[in-house]
Amino acid sequence: MSSSAWLTGVEALATLAFALSGLIEAARKRLDAVGVCVVAGLAAFGGGTLRDVLLDRRPFFWVEHAHWLWALLALCVLAMLSLRARHLALTERAVQWPDALGLGLFTAGGTELALAQGLPAIVAVLMGVITAVFGGVLRDIVCNEIPRAFHDHRPYAVCSFAGAWVVVGAQVLAAPQWLGLLLGAGLATLLRALALWRDWQLPAWRVD
């Protein structure tokens, strides 16, 4: 298997994890079939799409690779036929690990794209974080919840932030691009996995 086929496989797995997070949220909120598809789609593709709107890039990923929209539709139909309440918590736990992978991959990819446009380091980092995190943010806004990434005091965007700086740092040090992407994605994924495993908490704002 070539490295590019590997990468596509990992990317598909990560996107699947993001889409499933949308499916689970939609099921919890008892959305109808339309809502399920939209929320799953927002969770999977919303972050990258928002980044592309901000960077004024076209075509979007899901326009260039429109078969992913078909795959998403098939996933939603399949899930609605087979997933039951007792599967939701299980799926949510199983999805955490590929989701951490997605966090890393999308962070590194988004940061790299912004660097390639010559944007300042802090903006590139922000774009990496938006790519990885804002699909989930849009999912929660549509489901009428305060976005989990802003509220649950568990490191998520922070892991993405750290990984994005590694990608920026690699470019500053003139390291090969693949190395920066690998280290950045790796660090974000590792930090998230550690945060899940050790149950890390963000320091709370002791406002009262």
Q: Contact positions toward a copy of itself, by CB under 8 A?
A: 26-27, 29-36, 38-39, 49, 53-54, 56, 58, 60, 62-63, 66, 69-70, 80, 83-85, 88, 119-123, 126, 137, 141-147, 149-153, 156-158, 202-208
**Are the beta carbons of 187 and 104 closer than 8 angstroms?**
yes
Q: Which lies closer to a copy of itself via its Cβ, residue 10 or residue 69? A: 69
Which alpha helices (H) appear in the chain, and where do they start and end?
A: 3-28, 33-55, 61-64, 67-82, 85-116, 121-142, 157-172, 177-198
Helix (H, G, I), strand (E, B) or coil at 65: coil
State the nearest-atom distance from the C-beta of 29 to a copy of itself, in Å: 6
**Are the beta carbons of 5 and 97 closer than 8 angstroms?**
no
Angle between helices 33-55 and 67-82 (to 10 degrees): 150
State the nearest-atom distance from the C-beta of 3 to a copy of itself, in Å: 28
With CA atoms as reference, report the closest residue to 89 among 6, 149, 165, 25. Answer: 25
Terminal Cα-to-Cα distance of the chain (whole angstroms): 56
DSSP letter at 148?
A: G
Q: Which lies closer to a copy of itself via its Cβ, residue 50 or residue 187? A: 50
Q: Which lies closer to a copy of itself via its Cβ, residue 46 or residue 180? A: 46
State the nearest-atom distance from the C-beta of 111 to a copy of itself, in Å: 14
Q: Which lies closer to a copy of itself via its Cβ, residue 6 or residue 145? A: 145
Question: Which residue in this structure is represented by tokens 């797995």?
Answer: 13
State the nearest-atom distance from the C-beta of 178 to a copy of itself, in Å: 26
State the nearest-atom distance from the C-beta of 50 to a copy of itself, in Å: 10
Q: Which lies closer to a copy of itself via its Cβ, residue 30 or residue 198? A: 30
